[in-house]
Amino acid sequence: QKEVEQDPGPLSVPEGAIVSLNCTYSNSAFQYFMWYRQYSRKGPELLMYTYSSGNKEDGRFTAQVDKSSKYISLFIRDSQPSDSATYLCALLGVALTFGKGTMLLVSP
């Protein structure tokens, strides 16, 4: 079993839709939970991070962590074409472990 599982997509939605991106993990030692966004041919950029179970909101983005289920989610409200990118979950234990990324396509 891989440490971090993430559906690679692609996930296609119309503009304005609510997007749900998810990861599951197996290692209880992970302490911090991050979401990175990567545009094509660019480096990943940090969107949000959290270290506790529950929700954390930042504008149109909400990160959710359920440590008991080892499940993390990123919700994007009112999705925009500019949100089209690959979203990677990342978990920090000794080092940063990334999921494979989900490609999101938001069509106008």
Partner 1 sequence: DTAVSQTPKYLVTQMGNDKSIKCEQNLGHDTMYWYKQDSKKFLKIMFSYNNKELIINETVPNRFSPKSPDKAHLNLHINSLELGDSAVYFCASSQAGRAANEQFFGPGTRLTVL
Beta strands per DSSP E along the chain? 4-6, 11-14, 19-25, 32-38, 45-50, 54-58, 61-66, 71-76, 85-92, 96-98, 102-107
Question: Do the bridges between strand 61-66 and strand 85-92 make them parallel or antiparallel, or are there none, so unpaired?
Answer: unpaired
The count of chain residues that interact with partner 1, using the rule CB under 8 A, is 23
> If binding is defined by CB under 8 A, does position 28 make contact with partner 1?
no
Give least dist CB 54 to partner 1, A: 17
Interface with partner 1 (CB under 8 A), residue from 61, 71, 75, 98: 98
> If binding is defined by CB under 8 A, does position 42 make contact with partner 1?
yes
> If binding is defined by CB under 8 A, does position 82 make contact with partner 1?
no
CB 16 within 8 A of CB 106: no
Question: Do the bridges between strand 54-58 and strand 61-66 make them parallel or antiparallel, or are there none, so unpaired?
Answer: antiparallel
> If binding is defined by CB under 8 A, does position 61 make contact with partner 1?
no
Stretch in the footprint of partner 1 (CB under 8 A) among 17-25, 45-53, 54-62, 75-83: 45-53
Nearer residue to partner 1 within complex by CB, 41 or 68? 41
